[in-house]
Chain A
Amino acid sequence: MLEIRNLVVDIEDKRILNGLDLTVNTGEVAAIMGPNGSGKSTLSYVIAGKEDYTVVDGEILLDGESILELEPFERAAKGVFLAFQYPLEIPGVGTMTFLKAALNAQRKARGEAELTTPDLMRRVKAAATKLAIDPEMLKRPLNVGFSGGEKKRMEILQMALLEPSLCILDETDSGLDIDALKIVADGVNALRAPDRSSLVITHYQRLLDYIVPDTVHVMANGRVVRSGGKELAIELEANGYADYRQQAA
């Protein structure tokens, strides 16, 4: 379970999050919606531990424990996974090599045995097939020369392999055509589990047609200003964010 209390975050003296409260229960899929500049991506980076941000006040608790003092890789080992809006290219590092390094680093941190190469290959191939990822892609350097859609699918592949307890999807729908969107949504839906929470950050309601959320939270001016069920997303689609911008101002 993720609990965020009164989170205040600055980047270079500019306030981005301003007393944000949010709770995502275990097994729940929560959607975060909001206009551009409302602090949605900052929220995802701060949960994952990116160092450019200064947490001025507040608390982030994962299963009751504060994670604010933890390094990003320690948070990852505790089950935090961020699917990036713009996944990074890692030249020279084979995709399979990267997957193995990441998976084994997390397993080791949790005191589990490292995976053998055949075991890893089996898992990767199974997950890749589900996401319609060409096996040739696994031989190439991670994300180098991948199309926008391929990069997003690679993010979901990593999410499936790492089996996180908290999945954060930052604008995963951006840059996807409708077929790719369906594949990615199917991948995310397949990972729904009673012991896993998800935070789906999106600007558009479109993604939520395919990943149906349990709760919807609207962000404006660095705060959650309204929470509700999935019908809230539909209302936003009809009325836009204009009301919230005004409210924020």
Chain B
Amino acid sequence: MPAVQETVERVKAIDVDQYKYGFETIIETDKAPKGLSEEIVRFISAKKGEPAWMTEWRLDAYQRWLTMREPKWARVDYPPIDYQDAYYYAAPKRLAGPETLDDVDPEILKTYEKLGIPLREQEILAGVKTSRVAVDAVFDSVSVATTFKAELAKAGVIFCPISEAIREHPELVKKYLGSVVPVTDNFFATLNSAVFTDGSFVYVPPGVRCPMELSTYFRINERNTGQFERTLIIADKGSYVSYLEGCTAPQRDENQLHAAVVELIALDDAEIKYSTVQNWYPGDAQGRGGIFNFVTKRGDCRGARSKISWTQVETGSAITWKYPSCILRGDGSSGEFYSIAISNGRQQVDSGTKMIHLGKNTASRIISKGIAAGRSDNTYRGLVSAHRKASGARNFTNCDSLLIGDGCGAHTVPYIESKNASAVFEHEATTSKISDDQMFYCLQRGLSSEEAVALIVNGFVKDVLQQLPMEFAVEAQKLISISLEGSVG
């Protein structure tokens, strides 16, 4: 509860425009020429110092992409994207593979400071925080810093920018890259395969419990630049890792494209917990600007008894098209999806998950909470399927939508396919609205409109917030209230 009070204080401190990460960092950048072509793909690959096999991989993806079309089935509406009118590579100029933080442009360090992301290990160590988080900071197309690498290496954990992994750990990258999300998976994933610029790579060796939370913080800064990050996480047999992802962007009038791919692989008895707080710039109240977020996230429970858990808090982006999914391949494996998707203003969200049961006795759980306010549209789209061999597959799905005001929409589109008679799938769904009478009741008891909405919404999303790591949960709770600022009254 004190968090609710705190939330309200935070909300009040924000000015009319509620997005507080909208500032721009002025630095010199090194950019590829505008547009997309084979030359640009080669340019990116060369900039990253990639081996020939990687360049070929990208070119193959680019050729396939040319033959593909944007998917149109999602309940989102946006003007056509001109793929030739964007930059596919932008890197801070001073950055030629920084060895230490002292080599990083101080403006960039200041940016992360402003965003509340500590990049200096000694500062984190000196802080009062007892728990530590290792951070990989990605600024436009490049990773600018990765903290605690040495300490993680002691435990055998590899945590580095993916461009570095391609050079330093080619055997792992070759084996796993594209093994969960194939190059041809979908339009945006194929585009990403051709032009991805940076992202994080994690490998946790057998039996190792990663000694700290890992996190990547993505920041789009440059104008007209797409961000195409690629994340690959491998948890070897019996290992455990918890990974957090955060994202923000400056406030701009034009739309910017973000098309990421995240692949997770869990081998026998391994567990991966992946949490996201997505707070890209959502556009203004009239729907001008904002990030187009077309993201493919998928986890493969490749080993027996492995477990992958997705938790997401989605508050930003003008358009969200995102379905973090689990392939439950290993016998006895399990997948979880916990989601809070909030839309306000003119935001459009089409998000959900896929749980593909392939192995025996696999289990999945989906808890989705959609909150729509303003004139936004919020769709949950989910697929639960059991393959013929998936005896004993179990799923529980709970999908709740909350509407605030009269101008918004909530939609639930669940697909259920079972080819195995022993599969047990349960689906629950509710839609409710914060009524004027409920608001008046709360106000009569002394709560302001903002406090009342914060209280009701926090109650609504409680089950999902509990799934987030502690520090993240508090942040997320604050973010939720800020996102709903101005949604009543």
Contacts and interface: CB of A to CB of B under 8 A. Distances in A.
Interface of A: 48-52, 71-73, 76-77, 80-82, 84, 87-94, 97-98, 100-106, 109, 114, 141, 158, 162
Given A88-B437, A93-B459, A106 B1 contact: no
B432 to A, nearest CB: 7
A49 B436 CA distance: 13
Given A82-B444, A88-B441, A102-B445, 17 more contacts: A49-B444, A51-B436, A52-B436, A72-B440, A72-B444, A76-B443, A84-B444, A90-B438, A90-B455, A91-B460, A93-B455, A98-B445, A101-B447, A105-B446, A105-B447, A105-B451, A158-B445
Given A101-B4, A102-B445, A50 B459 contact: no
Given A73-B447, A98-B455, A84 B441 contact: yes
A72 B443 contact: yes
B132 interface: no
B462 interface: yes
Nearest to A76: B446
Contact of A97 (B1, B444, B448): B1
Given A76-B446, A94-B459, A104 B5 contact: yes
Interface of B: 1, 4-5, 432, 435-438, 440-448, 451, 455-456, 458-460, 462
Nearest to A80: B444
Contacts of B438: 88-90
Contacts of A100: 1
A90 B447 contact: no
9 contacts: A49-B444, A73-B445, A88-B438, A91-B460, A93-B458, A97-B459, A102-B442, A105-B448, A106-B446
Contacts, number: 85
Given A87-B441, A100-B1, A101-B4, A92 B456 contact: yes
Contacts of A72: 440, 443-444
Contacts of B460: 91-92
Nearest to B460: A92
A101 B441 contact: no
Nearest to B5: A104
A75 to B, nearest CB: 8
Most buried by B among A71, A73, A158: A73
Contacts of A162: 445-446
A93 B456 contact: yes
A71 B447 CA distance: 10
Most buried by A among B442, B444, B446, B456: B446
A86 B431 CA distance: 22
A103 to B, nearest CB: 8
Contacts of A103: 446
Closest A-B pairs by Cβ, 9 of them: A92-B459, A93-B459, A72-B443, A102-B445, A106-B446, A76-B446, A88-B441, A105-B446, A73-B443
Contacts of B440: 48, 50-51, 72
Contacts of B435: 88
A73 B462 contact: no
Nearest to A94: B459
Nearest to A52: B436
A48 B445 CA distance: 10
Contacts of A82: 444
A92 B438 CA distance: 13
Nearest to B434: A90
A77 B443 contact: no
Nearest to A72: B443
Nearest to A164: B446
A90 B444 contact: no
B441 A102 contact: no
B448 A91 contact: no
Given A84-B441, A92-B462, A97-B459, A102 B432 contact: no
Nearest to A102: B445
Contacts of A109: 446
A91 B5 contact: no
B235 to A, nearest CB: 34
B202 to A, nearest CB: 35
Contacts of A98: 445, 455
